[in-house]
């Protein structure tokens, strides 16, 4: 009888680490993205890194090693050169006779094992599996905190992932920029005049500047930042990271580092370092701790020098699906029903950075199937989806949203996603596509869902066309969640909820927003139990960690269609939406405050504007 080997998911299920429902959810995401099941389980926060590493070891009949409990043998580190260890993320932790014990995260990396065997000069290699964090820390323990071994000749960190991500820069090692500046002896005489392009370019290729730039990026990735801001000032260069939507100042580097550091980042992004008068855009492919990232780089001239902003995109990020985005169950069910229609226009609205694109990707992931032809036009393509034709805007070549959309209509599509409706031409072609039997998904920059109608009219789209094609508008914001590790209850005055529109005397309205049970629970009470974060290392003492969406879904019914055709005031459209079951952003935020997911202050920060 042939024995079938259990995979990582089945092993975790048999150990009770995950449930059958969680495994099914992960397998669905795997089918959509063709990703590694272990990585998907980790990204979905279903299993921990150590649990996955242990299951991976059992799957392959290998040993799992907890490097935090192992004393690394210096003789083992002497056998394997630091360059090889850092290149392949391998820790040699013991040497017994003619055997070299190593720990690694990817036991299927045959090229890495071959290079280790060659470097070990005849010793037998016995590989174990460890977590990525333990391996990174183990390398530091074995070889020290520097990254010399990771650097190719000339100080660049370009290493061997060409088959997976051509041109990617592999980052590892120390991430303390202050110590790097001191350790590598970058002195004030580095500050050559910025007009001397050749001298600045030469400094940008020197090891100290390379290590400082790499460490700045590496630390941002480890901190979970979405953006890196490098901002020249009168006396220095401020470095800030955006974590969970909020900017945090990390450090200020000396002014004499400015020219070579900015030039180094521009070189990495394939920009023209001699041009400092106009904005430039570029990209940096990065590989760190076995994961691929894209950095979208923007350079802007300011009075104190060029400012660099880098958006960090995790290429291995798994689309977690609508269920993980923070929708109320009823809202999610309505969205799934709406996007199953064969034609019409579904718009997501909100400011930049409110998660509109993530929502559209999750919808595409939901509707993607073998019997549908799905095409997208994006600027840029943030995540690659299996089974979907994705096109990236290339303005210089004449490939715009509008020109791509014209071609899409000749490609027999079922579903079209437009990254953003920026002008009348794009909006009109989107309307035409929905009128001719296609489902069109797109985004608009408006403050709420009803304003999407006004925005389309302002663009010049005829109201009768909007009425005939628009099926729903979804407004959204991203609010930080209460840290689960330091979450604690506290008593608050019910009157604190008045700013959300809560009025205890209006029971019918409260039942509409909160449901009969929760509305009844609040009636007649003076205080209420809410939740907040006390502050811990996990959330950097902020009490908040991670983000979720706050949503307002306006479905277009016959009454709203009539109001659109009559060019009715925005207030009338909003009232009709509420009568049709629409929860406003502040009402959805109130529900999530009462559920203990976020705080009143956080909802106020992202939702409320003057007059709201």
Confidence of residue 174 (pLDDT cuts 50, 70, 90): very low
What's residue 250's pLDDT?
A: 85
Candidates 222, 75, 209, 80; CA nearest to 149 is 80
Per-residue pLDDT of 479-506, as tens digits, reads 999 998 899 999 988 888 888 877 777 7
Residue length of the chain? 612
Between CA 347 and CA 444 the distance in angstroms is 7
What's residue 347's pLDDT?
A: 96
Q: Using a cut of 0.95, tell me whether the model's pTM lies above it.
A: no
Query: Collapsing DSSP states into helix, strand and coil, what is residue 486?
Result: coil
Give 405's Cβ-side CA count (13 Å radius).
Answer: 28
- Assign residue 425 a region (left: φ > 0; alpha: ψ between -120 and 50; beta: otherwise): alpha
pLDDT at 576 over 90: yes
Confidence of residue 611 (pLDDT cuts 50, 70, 90): very low
pLDDT at 37 over 70: yes
Distances (CA, A) of 240 to 217, 247, 268, 538: 11, 6, 19, 19
Per-residue pLDDT of 436-466, as tens digits, reads 899 999 999 999 999 999 999 999 999 999 9
Confidence of residue 3 (pLDDT cuts 50, 70, 90): low
Between CA 155 and CA 147 the distance in angstroms is 10
Per-residue pLDDT of 325-371, as tens digits, reads 889 888 999 999 999 999 999 999 998 888 888 899 889 888 888 89
pLDDT at 93 over 80: yes
What's residue 567's pLDDT?
A: 93
Between CA 412 and CA 460 the distance in angstroms is 27
Buried residues in 26-46 as b, exposed as e (16+ CB within 10 A): beebbebbebbbbbbbbbbeb
Candidates 251, 199, 198; CA nearest to 229 is 251
pLDDT at 159 over 60: no
Task: Give strand ranges (E) for 207-365.
Answer: 227-232, 236-243, 246-254, 280-288, 291-302, 305-314, 344-349
**What's the per-residue H, E or C state across 442-484?**
EEECCCCCCHHHHHHHHHCCCHHHHHHHEEEEEEEEEEEEECC
* Mean pLDDT (whole number) for 585-605: 91
Largest alpha-carbon pair distance within the chain? 87
Mean pLDDT, the chain, whole residue set: 83
- Token readout for 262 is 């900015």
Between CA 570 and CA 586 the distance in angstroms is 18
Per-residue pLDDT of 413-424, as tens digits, reads 999 999 888 889
Give 133's Cβ-side CA count (13 Å radius).
Answer: 7
Angle between helices 451-459 and 570-579 (to 10 degrees): 140
- Token readout for 305 is 């020098």
Q: Please state the separation of Cα 324 from the chain's center in Å.
A: 14
Confidence of residue 214 (pLDDT cuts 50, 70, 90): confident
What's residue 179's pLDDT?
A: 58
């Amino acid at each position: 009888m042939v024995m079938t080997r259990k995979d990582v998911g089945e092993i975790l299920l048999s150990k009770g680490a995950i449930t059958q429902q969680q495994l099914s959810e992960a397998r669905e995401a795997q089918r959509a993205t063709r990703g590694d099941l272990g990585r998907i389980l980790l990204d979905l926060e279903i299993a921990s890194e150590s649990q996955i590493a242990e299951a991976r070891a059992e799957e392959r009949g290998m040993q799992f090693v907890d490097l935090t409990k192992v004393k690394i043998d210096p003789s083992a580190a002497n056998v394997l050169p630091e360059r090889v260890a850092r290149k392949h993320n391998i820790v040699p932790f013991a040497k017994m006779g003619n055997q070299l014990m190593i720990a690694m995260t990817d036991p299927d990396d045959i090229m890495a094992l071959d290079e280790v065997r060659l470097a070990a000069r005849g010793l037998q290699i016995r590989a174990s599996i460890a977590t990525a964090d333990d391996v990174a820390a183990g390398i530091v323990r074995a070889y020290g905190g520097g990254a010399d071994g990771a650097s190719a000749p000339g100080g660049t960190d370009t290493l061997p992932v060409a088959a997976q991500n051509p041109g990617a820069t592999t980052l590892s090692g120390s991430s303390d920029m202050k110590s790097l500046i001191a350790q590598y002896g970058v002195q004030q005489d580095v500050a050559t005049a910025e007009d001397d392009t050749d001298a600045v370019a030469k400094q940008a290729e020197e090891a100290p500047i390379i290590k400082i730039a790499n460490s700045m990026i590496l630390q941002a990735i480890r901190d979970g930042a979405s953006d890196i801001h490098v901002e020249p000032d009168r006396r220095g260069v401020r470095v800030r990271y955006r974590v969970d939507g909020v900017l945090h100042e990390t450090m200020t580097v000396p002014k004499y580092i400015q020219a070579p550091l900015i030039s180094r980042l521009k070189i990495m992004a394939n920009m023209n370092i001699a041009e400092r008068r106009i904005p430039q855009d570029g990209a940096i492919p990065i590989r760190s701790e076995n994961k691929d990232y894209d950095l979208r780089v923007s350079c802007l001239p300011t009075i104190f020098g060029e400012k660099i902003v880098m958006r960090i995109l995790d290429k291995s990020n798994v689309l977690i699906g609508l269920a993980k985005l923070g929708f109320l169950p009823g809202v999610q069910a309505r969205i799934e029903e709406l996007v199953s229609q064969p034609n019409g226009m579904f718009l997501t609205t909100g400011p930049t950075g409110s998660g509109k694109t993530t929502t559209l990707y999750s919808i595409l992931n939901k509707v993607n199937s073998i019997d549908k032809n799905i095409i997208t036009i994006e600027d840029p393509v943030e995540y690659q989806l299996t089974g979907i034709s994705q096109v990236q805007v290339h303005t210089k070549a004449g490939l715009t949203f509008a020109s791509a959309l014209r071609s899409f209509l000749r490609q027999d599509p079922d579903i079209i996603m437009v990254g953003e409706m920026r002008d009348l031409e794009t909006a009109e072609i989107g309307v035409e596509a929905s009128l001719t039997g296609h489902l069109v998904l797109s985004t608009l920059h408006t403050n709420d869902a009803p304003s999407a109608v006004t925005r389309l009219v302002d663009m010049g789209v005829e109201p009768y066309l909007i009425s005939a094609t628009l099926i729903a508008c979804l407004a959204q914001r991203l609010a930080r969640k209460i840290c689960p590790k330091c979450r604690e209850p506290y008593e608050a005055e019910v009157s604190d909820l008045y700013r959300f529109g809560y009025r205890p005397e209006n029971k019918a309205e409260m039942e509409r927003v909160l449901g009969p049970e929760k509305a009844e629970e609040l009636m007649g009470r003076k205080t209420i139990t809410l939740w907040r974060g006390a502050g811990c290392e996990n959330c950097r003492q902020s009490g908040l960690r991670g983000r979720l969406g706050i949503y307002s879904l306006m479905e277009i019914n016959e009454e709203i269609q009539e109001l659109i055709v009559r060019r009715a005031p925005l207030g009338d459209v909003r009232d009709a939406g509420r009568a049709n079951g629409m929860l406003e952003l502040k009402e959805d935020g109130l529900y999530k405050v009462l559920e203990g997911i976020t705080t009143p202050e956080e909802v106020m920060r992202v939702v409320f504007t003057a007059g709201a």
